[in-house]
A = this chain, B = another copy of it.
Amino acid sequence: MINRKPNISVDVQKRVNSAVKKLKYRVNLRAKSLVQNSSNIVGVIAADITNPPISIFIDALSARFHEKGVGILLGNSRNDIHKEFEFIDLFTARKARGIIFTGEKITEEHVKKLNICNIPILVVDQDHEELNCPAIVFDNYQASYDVVKLLIKKGHRDIGFISCPTEDKHAGFLRQKGYRDALFDNGIQLNRALLQYAEFTMESGYKAMEKMIKNFKSIPSVIFGATDNIAIGAMKYLHEKEYSIPGDISVFGFDNIPVSSKLIPSLSSVELDHYKSGIFAADLFFQMTDSKFPDGIKKVIFKHKIILRESCR
């Protein structure tokens, strides 16, 4: 009655509505979901909600989901895989309509768990051969390769790279591989002192920069950070040591987070439009759950764009 069937007289509607108000009636969505066996909730697992690429992605997701009346159950794992496993179990137990996974790594255990939980899954910014679900990614390898090629074309030879952990296949392994291969293809030998590792924080980029300067006897002509956060930390260290950017040394980042264009000097970077990928992810997800979907998509690759700014010459 309450669920406005096609042909009900206006009078009845009025009476029902007033009764609803008087009795302060509220539907109980749990009961509804129980009987309909579908919950209008989607579980979103994110490695770190404070990381701009991820929060922007979720922002986009949530806009679309809200339009469709679907709620987001947030699983913020802080990159702890055990938490991620628990979230997967929790979301399955709550009969979420599906799971959107944006963790930073996918282990064999992830694959096992995700493959058996029997609800639609969408993986973002990662992929895995044995994972039986569509993935939305950027071409991190090519983007990184393109940047290094560009740097070489600009005359740079001593190109320092600060990598993320390679457990992260996309932001870690593939970006580093792009760097290595571009060097190799252009006849430049990898100098181990010029390849340092960091986490995803600015602080960590700062320390990696410090290490590189100490290990490498001279200074590199450009630093390529695997994320903007890392590059920002590196810039800070270089500034403290009174190197001028880009006078003495150029800096390149990756992600093009909002602050990068406002830095002084503004940071060159690779733009990955996480907002757009979030909107797309939501739409793809709905196609999957509404099963109008051809069910043939394995991977969707989004465009990247190199953005040259003051920090690099």
1/0 per residue, CB under 8 A from B, across A12-54: the answer is 0000000000001011111101100001010010001110100
Cβ contact within 8 Å between B26 and A92 = yes
Asked if A259 lies at the interface with its beta carbon under 8 angstroms from chain B, I say yes
Interface stretch (choices A56-64, A174-182, A285-293): A56-64
Query: Shortest Cβ distance from A301 into chain B, in angstroms?
Result: 24
Q: Which residue of B lies closest to A72 (CB)?
A: B74
Within 8 A of B (CB), among A221-265: 232-233, 235-236, 239, 258-259, 262-264
Asked if A71 lies at the interface with its beta carbon under 8 angstroms from chain B, I say yes
Asked if A284 lies at the interface with its beta carbon under 8 angstroms from chain B, I say no
Cβ contact within 8 Å between B27 and A93 = yes
State the interface size on chain A (CB cutoff 8 A): 52
Q: Known: A49-B62, A78-B63. Is A264-B262 also a contact (CB below 8 A)?
A: no
Cβ contact within 8 Å between B66 and A83 = yes
Q: Known: A49-B55, A49-B59. Is A94-B74 also a contact (CB below 8 A)?
A: no
Q: Which of B26, B62, B94, B263 contacts A263 (CB 8 A)?
A: B263
Asked if A142 lies at the interface with its beta carbon under 8 angstroms from chain B, I say no
Asked if A95 lies at the interface with its beta carbon under 8 angstroms from chain B, I say yes
Report B-chain residues with C-beta under 8 Å of the C-beta of A27.
Answer: 93
Report B-chain residues with C-beta under 8 Å of the C-beta of A39.
Answer: 30
Q: Which residue of B lies closest to A55 (CB)?
A: B50
Q: Which residue of B lies closest to A76 (CB)?
A: B62
Cβ contact within 8 Å between A93 and B26 = yes
Q: Which residue of B lies closest to A31 (CB)?
A: B34
Asked if A270 lies at the interface with its beta carbon under 8 angstroms from chain B, I say no
CA distance A34 to B31 in the complex (A): 6
Asked if A124 lies at the interface with its beta carbon under 8 angstroms from chain B, I say no
In the complex, the 3 A-B pairs of residues with the closest C-beta atoms, listed nearest first = A62-B76, A74-B74, A29-B93
**A interface residue numbers (CB < 8 A to B):** 24, 26-31, 33-34, 39, 41, 44, 48-50, 52, 55-56, 58-59, 62-63, 66, 71-74, 76, 78, 83, 86, 89-90, 92-95, 116, 201-202, 206, 232-233, 235-236, 239, 258-259, 262-264, 266
Known: A49-B55, A62-B74. 8 other contacts (CB 8 A): A28-B95, A29-B93, A48-B59, A59-B76, A63-B76, A63-B78, A202-B262, A232-B262
| 26 sample A-B contacts, Cβ–Cβ < 8 Å, listed by A number | A24-B116, A26-B89, A26-B92, A28-B93, A29-B93, A29-B94, A30-B30, A30-B34, A30-B39, A30-B94, A34-B34, A50-B59, A55-B55, A59-B78, A62-B74, A62-B76, A63-B78, A201-B258, A202-B259, A206-B262, A232-B262, A233-B262, A235-B264, A259-B259, A263-B263, A263-B264
